[in-house]
Chain A
């Protein structure tokens, strides 16, 4: 109960959890892919460098082409900042132009090579990063304790390990490529532009701040609107999913029209919010267009004036310079836009990052003590010394209170109690799936916290209420209990769990493929396989948590017999709904609301425990009293073996 209440507090997945140092944690996943990451960035930078130089070469072509004289000295000037050096001089105009063209092609080819290599390295680096991150997450989750697992549901964990990691992969690739490329190009192109004409470059002092401010303001307005829209959108999808799952209820109560009305209302809100968010975003492109053109006009106007006044001859501005300058304008503004868009995409993926970091940040609460002794439990005795336990680790909400219980090695213990009486909670403390809040649990006379977890759990066979088999053959699943088990041992355990016969009835016997989640066997068969799996460990303690509910009473009894005969010195704890499952136990514990209400044998409890009597009669009643009263057919005694039949 408490566990479920907690899951409410945990809230929905849409909200972005606050995390600290998330980037650092993610960065550690780059690991061996640091080199390709750096190569990516270096090559991207090189690519940009060549791209930036190409317009200069173009300018030389135009300048020389426009020269008045057809022969003479044509010099290739490299001109950047203070540097203004002649690179080579030729006497033939056409020859010069062809050489420049060839230089341009060579530069483009080198740039292409850099681009291709950087793309390859980027793919290696980003997918490697993602794979490391995924591994780190999976390993972390594998180390989660039960309490940790209660904080997340499977679906959300799977999403975090898949979709969220993919988002991170894309963001990482953007960072090492575009976030290097765009700013670098911005700076380089700006340098080139200034070196061509500091006067014309004044335009950037105006346009860049304007563009930045407008982008920032736009993002600031649009972002909350998008978030609001996405929230509503999630709500809409959630209620649609609810409707789908509950469609039978909707139809049975003829609530279709009502549901449609509800949906339409949300749907309309989504439409309004979507429009209100997108109408901001669609401003961006026309605005960008406007700005680019404003720059072009300004430059042609001023540059044109300059050329007109200086008659298109160096050292004044030339036509070639003007064309180069125009290319740089495009490069500068486009890269700024690119930075903004990439930045927004990365920011948008922060929810993914937060969700991932949340998994990594989860504090694992059950780990081996540093000085844990490397011993295995000596026997199957169990002692609960004044144990308090709380799922929420708070003294106000105790799920188990003041449990004092001592079980001798080899004893068979039954546990009975209503839903929510903490039966499962009690037994989960034995293999230290949760830690006690107060008091201590001892196995073989040693506090469970002093064992290495592997040693402790290795000595305990536990069949959980929620049985899970994995894809693979029956044998592979049974081997979980003991991976070195021989066929003989496997069969021995399967026979004790009453599973051998039905396994052999399958054409492939132990090699039968179970399919994902063990879908190819019935509920009762699944439970018996799980029992066999646990028995294969030859545990000192065997815990059966409502694990025979889908098994008929006769088989149930046979399993208990099998346990007693073949695993006589094992301590057995059986949680059951059916009285018939625990009747024969050495002692039966009656749990009620987190406390032990009574302990004793079946006969004793019938005398002393009202709850036990209640449960007993609820399963026996109808048999004797009612039927006799109503139908006057006495001697109705066939139900002694229990009237409970769970399917």
Chain B
């Protein structure tokens, strides 16, 4: 419906896309710097552990459980050799010399009873093992979900305190990916990675010990096979990794192509350009298929190789073991062989798993590091101590602080030097004195701006994109701090004013209107949380928004979702104006507040706007010169400098830049 809306939607979309592509671990050109490896894994790991501090007891218990579970598993398998050697074989009368029937006894039991008893014992061990498994699973899942909640809360809290500058240098997609992908990998690390790592490491050690106990010769054979397997894993895994990176790059490319060309599909249709589009797509698609075929081939063959090599290892130990058992070499016997075969089949498993897990762990550490980077980001500093308080004038005209709402506000200014507190009436005078500013130190955006907006005045800022109009308003509410010069608010240097109070004292209708999920009334109330329904409605009426709101399906209770996607840009802006109206502050900043409203509608809401601006200090930024014409002062900005100032007539008479803009002889961009 309007370019603005489209732009907005697009912005939101591109973040969606970014989030979506992040999910597939894309490293496309724009965010190619996304790290897969942490800078300092160890420090990050330590910091993750610090989140577990509050769970010491539970963790201790969990680790004990893991330990016990591993012992149960390995012990259970080991008991098989005992059961066979000491019970089944002796009782079956096989080779009575080596396996005398007397072996079969347990406590006071003998023969089949002893056999049954030992099986019962084995069952008991297994049940305990499984039970412990469940217990530590539950503990870990619980801790994980709580730690994640804490991490998310901390991230969100930190985000709220960061200066606007931070958001200029970090895309929404990147920040969102902290909440989605990076917390996801962290969850994976905490709930699976770490417990598994411990389990597998213990299992390997345990198995190794048991295998050594059973027979060191066979163990040696298993180890040799394992080393061979590991070499293959390294080779194939490396190949696979290389091709996966290539695949990610191709995915990035095709994502870019799809995004650009679906976004411009209406143009494609108008030019009947579909066939060329399809051809372009096919070539990208083919490249992606080729790359991902290679990547998946290597990934796919890894498991069959590992699995079947373990059979080879199994066969080798079987031959050797049998020969040894026949001849009782190195104390080998049948029971040990059966147990050993069980171990040998499982031995390569934990190592392969650990190799696979390492990748995930390193990725999670990289993600955690990004999370910690956010948590470590420098929050907005606020050294302000001047606060805004309710006040009333006492008999002799002096301002006195009061608790209740009086309609009169005062700046409470505590002077450290003499320990006195003074009250200054809040009028809304804003003064710039030789202000210079740059978003980056080496690039000055505003140069030596000096101006004063007296209470109740309307000041308009005019100039090309990038001339510094919005920057000026960003300095007033201290979204950014000035580099040089002074800004005074009611004659108080704004750096002395507490930021929250400073911002509360002025309402801003921004260039891009942002609505939040919630009802229409909620969105208006954003300006003043405790506003009554009456106040909300009055604000809407003032902004001329009441009419369309009443025609929404559920009036003021209509739910808005997806940044108010069901409203037109014009309606969104009316809501933003209502939001400012309900806040009712003496200073108003209108940054392109009416740019998406056509001139005729703008006329209609002008009355509301006029009423809103009445008695307030107003800063207006507008593309349409018609909007700023009736300002008390118009400042024409170019390259960060005020090149002309005066009211409309004065500027027209001066026949300078403003005149040229006004007559259309110049193009702003």
Contacts and interface: CB of A to CB of B under 8 A. Distances in A.
A126 interface: yes
B409 interface: no
Main secondary structure of the interface of A (DSSP, over half): helix
A7 B565 contact: yes
A65 interface: yes
A507 B254 CA distance: 30
B583 interface: yes
Contacts of B278: 138-139, 142
B13 A153 contact: yes
Interface stretch (B288-296, B433-441, B450-458, B633-641): B288-296
Given A282-B141, A457-B270, A643-B625, A611 B304 contact: no
B300 A123 contact: yes
A122 interface: yes
Contacts of B127: 290, 293
Interface string A452-471: 01100110101011111011
B64 interface: no
Contacts of A257: 160
A618 interface: yes
Contact of A62 (B286, B337, B629): B337
Interface stretch (B86-94, B205-213, B419-427): B86-94
A146 to B, nearest CB: 6
Nearest to B158: A260
B503 A622 contact: no
B200 to A, nearest CB: 14
Nearest to B346: A330
Contact of A245 (B73, B500, B514): B514
B668 A146 contact: no
Given A97-B322, A154-B13, A244-B167, A622 B630 contact: yes
A110 B92 CA distance: 38
A246 B516 contact: yes
B71 to A, nearest CB: 14
A644 B504 CA distance: 34
A79 B537 CA distance: 87
B23 interface: yes
A618 B318 contact: no
Interface stretch (A156-164, A208-216, A601-609): A156-164
B123 A297 contact: yes
Given A111-B308, A271-B146, A290-B126, A251 B262 contact: no
Nearest to B15: A241
Nearest to A164: B20
Contact of A618 (B9, B504, B602): B602
Contacts of B266: 146, 149, 433, 464, 466, 468
Contacts of A301: 115-116, 119
Nearest to B291: A127
Nearest to B516: A242
Interface string B600-626: 111100000000000000000001111
A270 B180 CA distance: 13
A17 to B, nearest CB: 17
A247 B668 contact: no
A311 B93 contact: yes
A453 B272 contact: yes
B109 interface: no
B387 interface: no
A419 B272 contact: no
Contacts of B362: none
Contact of A619 (B20, B563, B626): B626
B156 interface: yes
Contacts of A580: 664
B116 A524 contact: no
A157 B296 contact: no
B229 to A, nearest CB: 12
B228 to A, nearest CB: 13
Interface in B239-296: 251, 254-256, 258-274, 276-278, 281-282, 285-286, 288-289, 292-296
A64 to B, nearest CB: 8
Contacts of B312: 104-105, 108-109
Interface stretch (A381-389, A400-408, A442-450, A550-558): A550-558
Contacts of B508: 248-249, 252-253
A251 B138 contact: no
B176 A241 contact: yes
Nearest to A580: B664
A105 B304 contact: no
Given A119-B304, A249-B510, A553 B262 contact: no
A514 to B, nearest CB: 11
A568 interface: no
A248 B599 contact: no
Nearest to A530: B267
A244 B145 contact: no
A311 B94 CA distance: 7
B503 A260 contact: no
Interface in A57-111: 58, 61-62, 64-66, 68, 70, 93-94, 97-98, 100-101, 104-105, 107-109, 111
Contact of B172 (A245, A255, A278): A245
B3 A466 contact: yes
A122 B296 contact: yes
Given A323-B341, A517-B260, A645-B664, A466 B6 contact: yes
A167 to B, nearest CB: 9
Q: Residue among A12, A551, A618, A626 with the most chain B CB within 10 A?
A: A618
Contacts of A294: 123, 126
A463 to B, nearest CB: 9
B141 A163 contact: no
Given A104-B318, A287-B130, A470-B264, A127 B293 contact: yes
Interface stretch (A219-227, A302-310, A372-380): A302-310
A646 interface: yes
A647 interface: yes
Nearest to B22: A163
Interface stretch (A196-204, A488-496, A631-639): A631-639
Given A247-B167, A615-B600, A253 B583 contact: yes
A254 B504 contact: yes
Contacts of B83: 300, 304
A173 B296 CA distance: 10
A561 interface: no
B126 A297 contact: yes
A239 B649 CA distance: 47
A336 to B, nearest CB: 17
A489 B465 CA distance: 33
Given A119-B301, A516-B260, A611 B600 contact: yes
B315 interface: yes
14 contacts: A4-B566, A101-B316, A105-B312, A118-B300, A153-B9, A162-B251, A247-B167, A263-B152, A282-B137, A283-B137, A300-B80, A323-B341, A464-B270, A517-B264
**Cβ-closest 4 pairs across A and B:** A115-B304, A553-B664, A119-B300, A246-B514
Given A312-B93, A618-B603, A636-B652, 4 more contacts: A97-B319, A138-B285, A466-B266, A517-B264
